[in-house]
Structure 1
Amino acid sequence: MRLFRPVAVAFVAALTVLGCSAPAAVQPPSDAGVPAELEQFYRQSVRWESCAGYGTDGPVLARNGVECARISVPLDYGDPAGETVSIALSRSRAGGERIGSLLTNPGGPGASGLSVALVADGTPVAERFDVIGMDPRGIGSSEPGIVCRTAAETDADRALDPGDTSPAGIAEAEKLNREYADLCAERTGVDVLAHVGTREVVRDMDVVRGVLGDDRLNYLGFSYGTRIGAEYAQKFPDRVRAMVLDGAIDPDQDPVEEMLLQAEGFQRAFEDFANYCAGYDGCPLGTDPSQAVERFRALVGPLLETPAPTTDPRGLSYGDAITGVQQALYSPALWGSLRGGLESLATSGTGDTLLLLADLYEGRGDDGSYSNITAAFDAVRCVDDEPVTDRALAGEIDTRFREAAPFLDDGRGNGSAALDVCAFWPVPPTSGTEVADLSGLAPVLVVSTTADPATPYLAGVELAEYLGGALVTFEGTQHTVVFDGEECVDSAVTRYLIDLEVPGSDPHC
């Protein structure tokens, strides 16, 4: 789950080239839970092929022996005889005795999931499951895709001042947000935008389960993927074999409160980074972590007036500097890059590293093209949750956000704020809040990290309690941890997925 926008986990970047496994046996579609009106979708055959033509990650996936395919699902499940959309899938086949398929989701919303087919590579889980990646409807290689801005328009938007709270600044921001919403409607289509929410993705997941031949679902969801998983469990409780939810979103959490808790999480991650940085000579935030916020604000504040030069002609805007910092705070693996980026800004006034981090967050490739992660994030969240349309409430949220995350406070708070794009979205929210009957749901395993900057630890505690599941606690400062090399966590997840062994108490890793 991103701060405002989701982060795509770069699973592919660290992959090694593997040999292809032997051809897999064809799995007939499952007969479990097939509604008569949707029979043609549940019983469709899947034609697996090379991933080479599936997005920017496709060639790497193909070299790693991953196969890809597309299946059809209804655009509107209320009209199954109407228009259809295409869902892109990837498959890393089980290397040994197969239990079934393990469907995965990397989070977002908006992140492509195809490369997550290799998230368990080299583990016993990859031996026993076909690991399945999925691009949810409208995202990545699924068709039609959610389209809002062009690459040039996105570059221009990133260069703008994101936080002018003067009356003129707020009016201009709302004008741009309204124009952006109109572009999304024009370039994607209102009918598509009305059917890209979690409500539809959950139905798509069950079709995927059926066509892959599994009577019950095995699922691994990260971040926003925990919301998808939880809603699947609520809608289809009797169709879950095993479900791991890592980096949880509390289904009962108010979206505004969720955002404010996220701000607190990023502040804690910034403070942990400042402590780490203070151990290095020349740390741009100084040797006293208590002064880190003040030094950081002095370092990035001037970018509001003058972007920092970069080898890329765009330069580093204030907004991109903040975005780059947010990207790095998701994982200690990026703290070295963040320290170097801030050091370059402090010593030479250049912003290349922070711009690269911001590009990673925004889904910008080396060729200047963009994935649709940002457009998809906006499209999904605007139909998943009620928008804030009260300007007084928007101003109160802005004030509370600055208090929760002072390292992000540019000093221009005045109790006023622009309404964000969802206030101008061309279709209404679609996700409901009905109470679910969870009888028949198999035990779910929730993994929660104590200092997760994006999804608070307590959300995992509450999600496990809500679903009547088990909890694994990881002591650390990062966003999600399953199959990240932490043996304590991975062994618990492996035993659960393969043997359905549920921890008797909360293991602290």
Structure 2
Amino acid sequence: MRRALAAVAGLAVASLTLSGCLYAMIPQDAAPKPSATNAPDTDGVAAELLPFYGQTLTWTDCGETGFDCTDVTAPLDWENPEAGEITLAVVRHQATGTAQGSLLTNPGGPGGSGVDFVRDSLSSVVGPALIENYDVIGFDPRGVGASTAVTCFDAAEMDDYLYTIPAAPRGSAAWEAELLEGHKEFADACEANSGGILPFITTVNAARDMDLIRAVLGDTQLNYLGYSYGTFLGATYANLYPEKAGRLVLDGAIDPAVSGLEVGATQALGFESALRAYMQDCLDSGECPFSGTVDEAMADLGALLASVDAVPLENGDGRMLGADSLMTGIIAALYSAESWPYLTQAFEGALQGDPSTAFLLADFYNGRENGQYLDNSSEAFRAYNCMDYPVEDDPAAEAATTAEIAEGAPTIAPYWDGPDSCSVWPYPPTGTRGEITAEGAGPIVVVGTTNDPATPYEWSESLAAQLSEGVLVTREGEGHTGYNKGNSCVDDAVESFLLDDTVPEDGLRC
């Protein structure tokens, strides 16, 4: 069974609203006032780390007016700083008013580019009040994007890996062997092409990098807004550096205590729930390709998935749409209710033998455009998860999880299982799963959305309860994450905390 399914993709990969052109960029705000860079914060830094914490940044204009970029040098191995160096790409949008410091952000993944997230869609990252009062910082974590990156396949090889349909029947031993061989070829390519960085691509190391970025920006404490996987990164930071944790908002939380098997099961149930919500909306619209009750429509969707699994649909570019790629497209659209019309179009097309919209959604999820891949998010995702999640080899637990998914997510279940891709990763995992308390840090705000399919609401409840000063804010609704989604109650709570240090009422529901 997949240990950590590729559904935790974060905003940068799959939850920016699909609108007009899927890859259209969001216009940026007016030219801001320049802000000064403070001296690096080297207070209490160990001698062997001073060359990194004491570095002076050189900023250059990049992107639209108001953005500047720099590179930060970090140790490859934080336990052995002399073993080599990596580069971290950083972008800054300077406050349009008077900056009260830096606000670091992370879009999720693991593997989402924070540089692209901030530079290409600032208005989706933060609201106007934060743009006015903070220097908004995006960075590509180690292994990601413009930082020292995990590199695996070229575009043609990636197409084969992500879209080729196995020849053997689904669920057979030959099918599992075929998929596992593909995972092995991918892992071997990552090892061969990534310059020795794979064993150091971990969330703990990324959190240490984040403290370095904080320090060289001249901030004595970290102010942070993390989405999806970015909540795990932020909680890890607070656990490592509680005295440096300033105002942290963790939106769409991952529960650090759940195992990979539990992640897969909970997400399957979450996406099934979101799919049922979509289906009710589709049926209510009067323009749905399905009919009857939600249960009847879900059964018809199951029949469609089984049909393309048995007889894939040929796309105009020669690719074949099977059930796995159709499921990828479904997942992509379920991240935001505003993307549901695209899902309806995909189903209408598939029922008529045209897979083009389904491929459009799957390509969006995979970061593919015009036959090329826009980023390395898939490679970095695998690298982080294979190092962060401990190996699980308990057949009884796997059987119980499979049964749970089959009962609670019957439409998705047949396409959720598969061999563990991390079982052939070149390095054993170093991460552990357990509660994060961040004892000694101040209040940390956790935002959860009640029908979030990718990071189900129960994870936000759990993380808020684990944190020694966790504060839970709930958005009642659909889609992935809660801040900056048009809910003024959530937005006011988050922004009052980040701007004025006003802690929301624990348990606030919006």
Both structures adopt the same fold (TM-score exceeding 0.5): yes
Deviation string, structure 1 residues 272-309 (Cα, Å, up to 9, x no partner) = 00100001334122142121221101222222233223
How far apart in 2 are the matches of 1:435 and 1:307?
A: 43
Q: Which residue number corresponds to residue 83 of structure 1?
A: 84
Unaligned ranges ≥5, structure 2: 18-22
Q: Which residue number corresponds to residue 422 of structure 2?
A: 422
1:256 aligned to which of 254, 261, 265 = 261
2:391 aligned to which of 370, 387, 393 = 387
Deviation for aligned residue 1:392:
6.1
Are residue 365 (structure 1) and residue 369 (structure 2) matched?
A: yes
Are residue 166 (structure 1) and residue 172 (structure 2) matched?
A: yes
Name the SS of the counterpart of 1:406 in structure 2: coil
Deviation string, structure 1 residues 329-364 (Cα, Å, up to 9, x no partner) = 111010011011111222x21011110110011111
Unaligned ranges ≥5, structure 1: 52-61
Mapped contact 1:31–1:215 kept (Cα < 8 A): no
Mapped contact 2:33–2:95 kept (Cα < 8 A): no
How far apart in 2 are the matches of 1:466 and 1:391?
A: 29
Q: How does 1:345-356 map to 2 (within 5 A)?
A: 345-346=350-351, 348-356=352-360
Mapped contact 1:110–1:376 kept (Cα < 8 A): yes
How far apart in 1 are the matches of 2:228 and 2:5?
A: 9
RMSD: 2.2
Deviation for aligned residue 1:405:
1.7
Which deviates more, 389-398 or 336-345? Answer: 389-398
C-alpha change, 1:445 and 1:97, in structure 2 (3 Å) is: same
Deviation for aligned residue 1:50:
3.0
Q: Give the letter aligned to residue 170 of structure 2.
A: D
Deviation string, structure 1 residues 354-407 (Cα, Å, up to 9, x no partner) = 101100111112352342111111110000011234566545544433333211
Are residue 152 (structure 1) and residue 147 (structure 2) matched?
A: no
Deviation for aligned residue 1:121:
5.2
Q: Give the letter aligned to residue 475 of structure 1.
A: E
Q: How does 1:177-326 map to 2 (within 5 A)?
A: 177-189=183-195, 191-326=196-331
TM-score w.r.t. the length of structure 2 is: 0.91
C-alpha change, 1:310 and 1:322, in structure 2 (3 Å) is: same
Q: How does 1:17-56 map to 2 (within 5 A)?
A: 17-51=28-62
Name the SS of the counterpart of 1:78 in structure 2: coil
What percentage of aligned pairs have identical amino acids? 37
Mapped contact 1:18–1:63 kept (Cα < 8 A): no
Mapped contact 2:8–2:229 kept (Cα < 8 A): no
**Number of residue equivalences:** 492
C-alpha change, 1:185 and 1:393, in structure 2 (3 Å) is: farther
Q: Which residue number corresponds to residue 501 of structure 2?
A: 500
Q: How does 1:470-481 map to 2 (within 5 A)?
A: 470-481=471-482
Deviation for aligned residue 1:200:
0.4
How far apart in 2 are the matches of 1:486 and 1:460?
A: 18
How far apart in 1 are the matches of 2:418 and 2:126?
A: 45
C-alpha change, 1:219 and 1:69, in structure 2 (3 Å) is: same
Name the SS of the counterpart of 2:333 in structure 1: helix
Deviation for aligned residue 1:5:
5.3
Name the SS of the counterpart of 1:201 in structure 2: helix
C-alpha change, 1:435 and 1:248, in structure 2 (3 Å) is: closer
Which deviates more, 369-378 or 259-268? Answer: 369-378
C-alpha change, 1:296 and 1:434, in structure 2 (3 Å) is: closer
TM-score w.r.t. the length of structure 1 is: 0.91
Deviation for aligned residue 1:423:
0.9
Q: Give the letter aligned to residue 386 of structure 2.
A: C
Deviation for aligned residue 1:436:
6.5
1:333 aligned to which of 310, 334, 338 = 338
Q: Which residue number corresponds to residue 20 of structure 2?
A: none
1:376 aligned to which of 368, 380, 389 = 380
How far apart in 1 are the matches of 2:191 and 2:437?
A: 36
How far apart in 2 are the matches of 1:65 and 1:98?
A: 13
Q: Give the letter aligned to residue 48 of structure 2.
A: E
Which deviates more, 93-102 or 42-51? Answer: 42-51
Mapped contact 2:41–2:216 kept (Cα < 8 A): yes
Name the SS of the counterpart of 2:161 in structure 1: helix
